[in-house]
Amino acid sequence: MVARTMIIAFLVLLTYLSVTNASNITTDEASLLAFKAHITSDPNGMLSKNWTKRTHICNWIGISCSKKHQRVTSLVLKSFGFRDSIATDIGNLSFLNFLDIGNNSFHGQIPDEIGRLRRLKYLYLQMNNLTGQIPQSLGFLTRLQFLHLSENRLFGNVPLSIFSVSSLKDIDLSRNYELTGSLPNEICTNLPVLEYISLQDNQFVGELPSGLNICTKLEVLSLSYNKFTGNLPRDMWNMSKVQELFIGWNNFIGHLSSLEGLYLGSNALSGEVPVRIFNISSLKVIAVAANTLSGKLPSNLGYSLPNLEGLYLGINNFSGTLPSSISNATKLKFLDLGRNMFSGNVPIDLGINLQQIQSINFQRNMLTNAPSSTGEISFLNSFSHCKYLKFLMIGNNQFNGILPKSSLTNMSLSLERSSPFTVESGGKSQLKLVTGQTCRG
């Protein structure tokens, strides 16, 4: 009797589980058919031909299911040209961990119901026409690792709850243009595995939080074209893993009135350097070499940077002419403008006041020299009294003339290495200043 009762109970339980599983599969199917029904444009007929009850749901285009439960775990329909709003029924896909419907033409708001997808790890909604605010409910996705909402038309404050999803590795909210808010002070504490964050081309405000060096896994920080203000945190320069740092076109520099050194060399920085950098009178060193930065040097550079000792702009895309005011930066010791796109005549009196100058590099630009009655490259005469000058590199430009031998002979100059010049004078000739030559006036 007991054995018979147990068998009956087992059969009842098996029937219940079968019905429950069928019900769950039916729920997934109904949710996806509702998603399909919202789509008014299916240019290639992908869903109309394939998403039908004649085909098992796990064989539908863009769908992957778990082997164990036969539940929908992945929905990938990017770049299909779909148009219309996202059905709220998508929140019923309770086993979903991967959702990618990027690069379509979905519009309307991001459904709150997506916040019910507690297994979701990847959310890609980028490159659509979504509007409205980012729903608070996305902060409930405690397993989320990748959040890409870039290139939509989202606006308003970004929920702080998003910056508390500790599993997030990759956040891209860029190019929405109207998103705003500020970065919470605890961002690195709350996001311990964060590797990539891009907020560029929006309206974010406030100061950057201190403690960014705690983001020990962060590799890319992109904050350009926002309205961030205030001081750049000192510990920001101790982010050991960062490979790409984009912070241009904000208002950071306005309060750095005591800054003495700006060291951003050998990164992947690009775009124009804000002119305001050249107005921080306390600066002694500007080192931004080996990036892909561009822009022109302001005409008042030598006056606005009276304390400047080192200007390192080499290996970039700077252009325009060299301002004659450089000669007024009387404390300048190192001037590296090599491998850029500077053009025009080098100011004839460039070195007249640079009594402390030790190294000059103009190599590989498009610089020229003003015509001289003697046929000499006359701006070199302005360095004749630069007694500390050891390195003078001007090769691979468009200078036309001969070296002013009398002037070079009068220099109190100890050249410690050979410096090849390419000089045009009816043809090209390679000239060298002799290593170790000491010329005394």
For the chain, percent of residues with pLDDT exceeding 90? 60
Burial 292-326 (b: 16+ CB within 10 A, else e): ebbbebbeebbebbeebbbbbbbbbebbbbbbbbb
Q: Which residue has the tokens 């050891």?
A: 390
The answer to whether 280 touches 253, Cβ cutoff 8 Å, is yes
User: What CA–CA distance (Å, rounded) separates 139 from 149?
Assistant: 14
**What confidence score (pLDDT) does residue 257 get?**
64
The percent of residues above 70 in pLDDT, for the chain, comes to: 85
* Helix or strand holding residue 438 (H, E): strand 438-439
User: Which region among 217-221, 281-285, 339-343, 384-388 has the lowest average model confidence (pLDDT)?
Assistant: 384-388
User: Mean pLDDT, to the nearest integer, of 279-293?
Assistant: 90
Q: What tens digit of pLDDT does each residue of 379-414 get?
A: 998 988 888 888 889 889 998 888 787 665 555 443
Task: In whole angstroms, give the CA distance from residue 192 to residue 112.
Answer: 26
Please give the average per-residue pLDDT across 115-121, as a whole number. 96
The per-residue pLDDT for 248 is 75
Per-residue confidence band for 262, with pLDDT thresholds at 50, 70 and 90:
confident
CA 108/CA 142 separation, integer angstroms: 25
298 against 421, higher pLDDT: 298
The reported pLDDT for the residue numbered 429 is 33
The structural domains of the chain, ordered by start, are 25-246 (3.80.10.10), 261-407 (3.80.10.10)
Q: Give the global pTM.
A: 0.64
Vertex 118: Cα angle to 164 and 104 (nearest 5):
90
Q: pLDDT confidence of 213, banded at 50, 70, 90?
A: confident
Q: How far apart are CA 213 and CA 233, in angstroms?
A: 10
For residues 263 and 325, which has the higher predicted lDDT (pLDDT)? Answer: 325
Mean pLDDT rounded to a whole number for the chain:
84
For residues 256-270, average pLDDT = 74
Please check the confidence at residue 437 and state whether its pLDDT lies above 60.
no
Strands in 146-148's sheet, in edge-to-edge order, are 63-65, 72-76, 98-100, 122-124, 146-148, 170-172, 196-198, 220-222, 244-246
The string of pLDDT tens digits covering residues 310-324 is 999 999 999 999 999
Q: How confident is the model at residue 264 (pLDDT cuts 50, 70, 90)?
A: confident
- Cross-sheet strand order for the sheet of 285-287: 261-263, 285-287, 310-312, 334-336, 359-361, 391-393
pLDDT band at 4 (very low <50, low <70, confident <90, very high): low
**Residue 24's pLDDT is what?**
77
